Structure 1
Amino acid sequence: MKRAVLAVCALTLAAAACAPGSSAPPATSAPAAQPSAAKTDPSKLGDVTLTVWDQEVRGGQNAQMTTLNTAFQAKYPNIKIKRVSRSFDDLNTTLRLALSGNEPPDVVQANNGRPQMGAFVKAGQLRPLDAYADAYGWKKRFSPSVLQYVSYSTDGKIFGEGSLYGMPQVGEVVGILYNKAKLTKLGLQPPKTWPEFEDALAKAKAAGETPMQLGNLDKWPAIHVFGTVQGQHVPKDQIATLGFGRKGASWTTPENTKAAQNLVDWVTKGYFSKGFNGQGYDPAWQAFGKGEGVFLIGGSWLIADLEKSMNQDLGFLLPPGGVATGGTGLPFSITAKSPHPDAAAAYLDFITNADAMKTLTANGLLPIADTDQQTVKPGPQQDMFTAFGTAAKNDGLVPYLDYATPTFADTLGAALQDLLAQKATPQEFLATLEKDYKTFADKNG
């Protein structure tokens, strides 16, 4: 996974979060039509070859894809999978050209954000999946807080609602990682409420510990921290509206001001590691893994690496209240020009069904559905599964804030550095965000 807020494509997660980019959108064409009647028996579709482009190239990612493809072809011998596996960066580079050609792949992994999936939807290059979602029951299996990440209006302008244009396999969630041994030494239990969490930070500081590790040199890590704080003060529907860059919300509200001030208060009280704005992301979480710090706000994608160094001392919990920044890995979409949409939909269903979720778990990945039904050993991985499963089931996932506009990742990252350095007040910080968000939302319609 790509360890940045520009990652849903990785949370975890692991999937890399899908952040806006600067590539120009393809020429617009008519949206792909829905099938008149979805055919859900692959064995009756005749001999079919499906060309599938994915970026599941790393260890467990590649293993699960290989396993599922083999199982699908064994169950439906009339359908052959021609798999083309590319790195995340290579896929992003080549996919735009492939979709504009006369013979694009049948199934592709497309980055959720506006520069890719949104642009492809606008150009009519991806097929809306609502008819298949109804036929296969996807809207019942996956929570609305998950499906919003693969939903667009047919003109590609509105992200987070509308028709479905992809199906994800893996999930991501940003939570609170903690050192169990240090909490025990401080006489504390894992916090269940926000006041308990802030009390733990204060007691850690008083005991001479580093309350929270943070490495914000690359600017994006503080977005995860702010998103967690924001979830305590701002209604989740407002966060979703802001995060998806839709009209109807504002950054300059009393609730967002309170969240920004909460973050500044942590700086004033010395809760972050020293020199956090000049420390890199990797050195920060690696220091946490070596016992430096009681807490770390980060994504589920850190679990595997941190568990190697901390073992059972590592804990992971959902932010109090159950609202958490999160998302999905790169979803699988059906291209508009595919001559085999029914077979492609059957494939999407197969690689995201209950058995597929077990395969993902067996290969160390975080399944997007049935998370609470997986069998994993007690410890950090189980904590992560519980946190994500709870958030997804209760519609507690809110979008990565950099989704808001094509330029918001840079705007928010820089503004947070200034806020944390106390070079900008909470009001000035929010005014900067409001300008970028409102300019885009008004223009986007």
Structure 2
Amino acid sequence: MLTARRRVMAAAAAVVSTTLLLASCGDSDSGSSDGKTLKLWHYEAPNSAMGLAWNEAIKEFEKTHPGVKVKFEEKGFEQIQKTAPMVLNSGDAPDLMEYNKGNATAGHLSQQGLLTDLSSEATKRGWDKKLSAGVRTTSQYDAKGVMGSGKWYGIPNYAEYTMVFYNKDLFKKHGIKEPTTFDELTAAMDKFVDEGVTPLANSGAEYLAHQYLYQLALSKADRAWVDSYELYKGKTDFHDAAWTYGAETFADWVKKGYISKDSTSAKAEDAGVSFIQGKSPILFSGSWWYGRFVDENKFDWGTFLWPDSKMTLGSGGNLWVVPKGAKNKDLAYDFIEITMSEKIQNLLGNKGGIPVAADPAAITDPRAKKLIGDFNTLSDRDGLAFYPDWPVTGFYDVLVSETQKLMTGSAKPDAYLDAVQAAYDKGVQDQ
């Protein structure tokens, strides 16, 4: 989301500092190579599982590295996403940075020569052994910047996936059964509409809208379909049964009132806040929201995997990347090592994240156990389908703008599919 994730991911953007990246160019100690400062950028919300875990990792790092200070700078997701190539090609690059994974993002930077090859460190420190195959996919990129093979350019130390978040109190208030099947989900949304409630929280200006559409397509897809689309292991036809179903069903959901046309210009933060405030009974989004919902939701709520679908959006988490021009690379490697330690991984798990190297017995929080259990279910059935904007550079903006047209009715499903096909084909050709 957005990759994604963005999400990827992008939920944190509205709650962290919006200081322009260029402003940091004037820092007097920027790019220090004295071995006494680790310049770190990440964009996780302070009360998210990752934000809490990385803050503890900073304390652990400074304790185990006497005389070394971590200079942490908060950055927004979109801020890093849009300006990273420029900053990383300057003398102001951090030593360690969180960055979005996928061909269009980390893969693109690796192809441009802006990231450090971490292959030897991954092997020497055993990171390659700690990451499962599905999570590891986004760590490696070939010479064309395509994920899944080649050199290691990033290390994810958590995983993520999308799920249906639902407000149990609102379901009870309106006498609606909690759904366990796709038909029951649509029946519930019909009832909410009848009751004057828009069931789905959405953001047309960011990743949520096109992730709804991608999930609908995934419900008719399989691993070969995903690999063709994401890894170029076949030809992608946006007018096939799965994509057509996704576009047509999404447009129909807008017409039915499941998704408000008023959310066309909404950001991901708006959607999340709508759920937190108890206005929207359902939000389909990622595990990156989980810790924040635990902290801020004032009502009874639950989660479930998208019903009647083997696949959903998900992958390893965002990557720790070491810029090619980083001045303190050894310190960066040591910090990654700490975030992969059992202590930090266990904390991450108990705060609502999905750790990649935790002790299962150390995860005691009931909600966290379900979160991790559902991820294991998804992983065991090979159900991680990555994110729709990953395949080619610039595709995120295309998906946002074209999906907005579906929401406003200015484009029909066929025109939508034509537009994304053209952008995708051009992107693949330019790889």
| Paired-residue identity, % | 21
Query: 1:8 aligns to what SS in structure 2?
Result: coil
1-side partners of 2:71 and 2:399: how far apart?
36
Cα deviations across residues 112-137 of structure 1 (Å, max 9, x unaligned)? 35576334422444333334434444
2-side partners of 1:57 and 1:115: how far apart?
21
Residue identity opposite 1:400 in structure 2: Y
Residue identity opposite 1:225 in structure 2: Y
Q: Among 370, 388, 393, which residue is 1:401 paired with? A: 388
After superposition, where does 1:184-199 map in structure 2 within 5 Å? 184=172, 190-199=178-187
For the Cα contact (< 8 Å) 2:56–2:344, is it kept in 1? Answer: no
In the TM superposition, residue 442 of structure 1 has moved relative to its aligned partner by 1.6
Residue identity opposite 1:428 in structure 2: A
1-side partners of 2:269 and 2:328: how far apart?
44
Query: 2:284 aligns to what SS in structure 1?
Result: strand
Unaligned runs of 5+ in 1: 17-22, 24-46
1-side partners of 2:381 and 2:272: how far apart?
29
2:429 aligned partner: 442
2:152 aligned partner: 164
After superposition, where does 1:9-408 map in structure 2 within 5 Å? 11=9, 51-55=38-42, 59-60=46-47, 64-72=53-61, 74=63, 81-89=68-76, 100=89, 107-112=96-101, 117-153=106-142, 155-184=143-172, 190-206=178-194, 208=195, 210=197, 212-218=199-205, 220-243=207-230, 248-273=235-260, 275-277=262-264, 281-307=268-294, 310-320=297-307, 321-336=309-324, 345-361=333-349, 364=351, 366-370=353-357, 373=360, 375-379=363-367, 383-392=370-379, 394-408=381-395
Unaligned runs of 5+ in 2: 15-20, 22-33
1-side partners of 2:299 and 2:119: how far apart?
43
2-side partners of 1:116 and 1:133: how far apart?
20
2-side partners of 1:264 and 1:310: how far apart?
30
Cα deviations across residues 307-350 of structure 1 (Å, max 9, x unaligned)? 55644521122212352223455422345577986775454233
2-side partners of 1:210 and 1:401: how far apart?
29
Residue identity opposite 1:68 in structure 2: A
1:410 aligned partner: 397
For the Cα contact (< 8 Å) 2:108–2:393, is it kept in 1? Answer: no
Q: 1:427 to 1:310 in 2, by over 3 A?
A: same
Q: 1:395 to 1:310 in 2, by over 3 A?
A: same
Residue identity opposite 1:255 in structure 2: A
Structure 1 stretch 323-332 or stretch 335-344: which is displaced more? Answer: 335-344
Query: RMSD value over aligned CA atoms?
Result: 4.0
Residue identity opposite 1:431 in structure 2: D
In the TM superposition, residue 436 of structure 1 has moved relative to its aligned partner by 0.2
In the TM superposition, residue 176 of structure 1 has moved relative to its aligned partner by 1.0
2-side partners of 1:396 and 1:12: how far apart?
23
2-side partners of 1:383 and 1:318: how far apart?
11
Paired residue total: 407
Q: 1:186 to 1:371 in 2, by over 3 A?
A: farther
TM-score relative to the length of structure 2: 0.76
2-side partners of 1:304 and 1:66: how far apart?
14
